[in-house]
Amino acid sequence: MHQHHRALGLAPQSTAGSPVLGGGIDIAKAAPVQPVTLVRPHAAARAARFFVEKFPGRSMYAVKANPSPDLLQILWDNGITHYDTASITEVRLVKSTLPDAVCCFMHPVKSEEAIAEAYFEHGVRTFSLDSLEELGKIVRATDDATDLTLCVRLRVSSEYAKLSLGSKFGVGQAEAKELLIATRQVADALGICFHVGSQTMSPDAYANAMERVRAAIVDAAVTVDVIDVGGGFPSVYPGMTPPPLERFFETIHRAFESLPISYSAELWAEPGRSLCAEYSSVVVRVERRRGNELYINDGAYGTLFDAAHIGWKYPVQLLREPDSEARDLDFSFWGPTCDDLDFMKGPFALPADTNTGDYVEIGMLGAYGVAMRTAFNGFGSGETVVVTDEPMFSVYRRDLAAGDRRSTNVVKL
């Protein structure tokens, strides 16, 4: 699916420290040689407010989805005060950007050095684990601290997710009892966490996971203070239109309320993709056309890692004025490196007359897109520019749920 886009007016401001791509200059006249990242602070702010206002608990941003300091600040300004950090580098980033933010170290396998630095230098008090070995690491590295919130990660199904996260981490049902009892003995607050997989398309995933939580609590007979349902909250992509997020929240709340947990127990979530997917898109230039294949200046080693390696579908639109009248044609993309792996099968539907020198906007790259960039083969990123139009798709606006993008400078076809 594509939409034709008139010449894109670029706002005369940019993210901190980033060059400005001409105040009000359209993309064709600016003729950027490198990919241009378009960021939409209003989209990230809207997503943050949605979770803060409607999720029936605490929302922690999963920093790995997009670690941009500008984005972290936007989320903070709109009510996100807790951050799911998966490495000591992410902890340092959040604390240097937002000194008053609360970091939770939610990677189940950490070095003792990282645990110690997080605890003693950055004030981290919440850690996840899925083994007795990790519990021992945390106890040693924090010098037998008595103020820890420790979340035992259960292994749950990823059957409703587009990307599984069910194999690498999580304690099985048979071993959960021993680990929960041991963790309860050293934790000030005991939590149970899980992850149903990325881009989860049904609320049933959370209901089923909560049943595993219930069984683990009953089996171990422990008092639980925190239930963390992890991430997995979906965004909208071509061919992937999930139910409204409110349905996910309602399902989670009902399941949480029925659990045999402490009367004061807290409900947490770790949204990543759903808070930042709509924040960024990338404008690329076509450097060559070969049949139905377009050679572009970004790719698998840049923002299109998922498009290359797992066949993720992103919305695209041709940036040309006047609009193309050609019919749609399905294209594949080659990235700029010399590597055959730098291939995005798509299909990406663009006007059949798309050719060398044209510019294409690839949408919904705020999550696991911009964050995945490398400088492999000497190719990197160009300018970052703030724009005020809407993302191509939005899970927060029903009128954009299927990509019905609107803007004063966009023509709907």
- Residue 409 has what pLDDT? 34
For residue 213, which of 238, 243, 177 has the smallest C-alpha distance? 177
How many whole angstroms separate alpha carbon 316 and alpha carbon 333?
Answer: 12
Which pairing describes strands 328-334 and 343-351: parallel, antiparallel, or unpaired?
antiparallel
How many whole angstroms separate alpha carbon 211 and alpha carbon 209?
Answer: 5
Q: What is the Cα Rg of the chain in Å?
A: 22
Find out whether 197 and 244 touch, Cβ atoms under 8 Å.
no
Tell me how far apart the terminal alpha carbons of the chain are, to the nearest angstrom: 11
- Residue 315 has what pLDDT? 97
- Residue 376 has what pLDDT? 86
H or E element that contains 53? helix 41-54
> Phi and psi dihedrals of 329, rounded to 5?
-140, 140
- Residue 402 has what pLDDT? 63
> Phi and psi dihedrals of 96, rounded to 5?
-75, -30
Find out whether 44 and 71 touch, Cβ atoms under 8 Å.
yes
Distances (CA, A) of 154 to 202, 212, 247: 19, 8, 23
For residue 273, which of 328, 303, 236 has the smallest C-alpha distance? 236
- Residue 401 has what pLDDT? 67
Find out whether 358 and 27 touch, Cβ atoms under 8 Å.
no
Give the chain's domains with CATH numbers.
27-40+279-400 (2.40.37.10), 56-270 (3.20.20.10)
> Which pair of tokens denotes residue 34?
């490198």
Q: What is the pTM of this model?
A: 0.90
Distances (CA, A) of 290 to 81, 295, 296, 302, 334: 49, 8, 11, 21, 10
pLDDT in tens, the chain (413 residues): 444 443 444 433 333 333 333 334 477 678 899 999 999 999 999 999 999 999 999 999 999 999 999 999 999 999 999 999 999 999 999 999 999 999 999 999 999 999 999 999 999 999 999 999 999 999 999 999 999 999 999 999 888 768 876 778 899 989 999 999 999 999 999 999 999 999 999 999 999 999 999 999 999 999 999 999 999 999 999 999 999 999 999 999 999 999 999 899 999 999 999 999 999 999 999 999 999 999 999 999 999 999 999 999 999 999 988 889 999 999 999 999 999 999 999 999 999 999 999 999 999 999 999 888 888 888 877 889 999 999 999 999 877 766 554 333 332 21
